[in-house]
Amino acid sequence: MLPFPHRSLITALAGGLLLGGVMTAQAEDFTLSDRYTDADGDLVADIPADPDAWIDPDTLVFAYTPVEDPAVYAEVWSDFLAHLEAVTGKRVMFFPVQSNAAQIEAMRAGRLHVAGFNTGSNPLAVACAGYRPFAMMAAADGSFGYEMEIITYPGSAVRSVDDLRGRTLTHTSETSNSGFKAPTALLAAEFGLISGEDYQVDFSGKHDNSILGVANQDYEAATIANSVKGRMLDRGVIAADQLEVLYQSDTFPTTSYGTAHNLAPELQAAIQEAFFSYDWEGSALAEEFGRNGEAQFIPITFQEHWAVIRQIDRANDVTYDCG
């Protein structure tokens, strides 16, 4: 038994009163920007049928989701990027993006070819940037994911979720699943707490900012991904006794990895081969992400593995304005 509220997200969304309306079963209504086609109905952009529309750059640009200081992850990904170079025969450059919005815009504009997008930004990247996710990190047994937590600090006035009423809850960014979308839906469904009415919100920009802000008592409570918290604890950035957990969700899919839709098909296949042939043993990825139990890349589909995230977006009345 967990010492704090924990309930199935799907149960909460299906059975609760959500954002002022009763949640009912909905047909899938996810659509892509009219810049892309989806002839096979898998909810991601097709590779262009016309070979003249394919790109085959000499240098591949890779970006990892900006959950923490990008400088930390340039070294973490160095071994893998060397492997990606060997498999594809391309030079590979690490692009340290500062925000989810900048990462999405870079792929949409053709400046980003391979990326790891965080859980919550996947639908926007797929719909508006032609992102084609195909992989996710997982444990050796194939299990994967992380939980959203609402955290506070010892001795704060927030001793339970209900104590958030009339106070300020710090989120990360509006594209983050655990940092904004999921807690907004869950607080409404499970506790009747409506964002902007029963509690106020502000934004820290990143999960590490929120975690440090609570640990240093600058924020009273925050919503975060516990995978980021776990890595920060292991590196000694924060201490466990600086935080208390008020709520933990069920497990969500974690960062996905994929390509821009218009890379040449053979290049997309080679990139996928690089992910699935990478040897984690003794690698920098294993040292960093092994702290969360991750030990391999596994194949995923946006249609299947992100169904619950699209459901959260519908519950929050999210629309994907691709401009």
Q: Which domains does the chain have, with CATH numbers?
A: 9-26+146-252 (3.40.190.10), 51-143+254-315 (3.40.190.10)
Alpha helix ranges (H) inside 6-55? 9-15
**2 has pLDDT over 50:** no
CA–CA–CA angle 174, 175, 181 (5° rounding): 70
Q: Which of 89-93, 209-213, 249-253, 257-261 has the lowest mean pLDDT?
A: 249-253
Is residue 255 pLDDT above 50, yes or no? yes
In this structure, are residues 259 and 271 in contact, taking their beta carbons and an 8 Å threshold? yes
State the helix-helix crossing angle for 307-315 and 182-191, rounded to 10 degrees. Answer: 70
According to DSSP, the residues that pair with 148 across neighbouring strands are: 225
CA atoms lying within 13 Å on the CB side of residue 298 = 16
pTM: 0.80
Hey, what are 30's tokens? Answer: 């996810």
The rounded distance, in Å, linking the Cα atoms of 323 and 262 is 19
- Residue (of 175, 187, 119, 169) closest to 147 by Cα position: 119
Distance CA 184, CA 194 (A): 7
Please check whether residue 9 is in contact with residue 182, taking contact to mean a CB–CB distance below 8 angstroms: yes
What average pLDDT does the chain have? 90
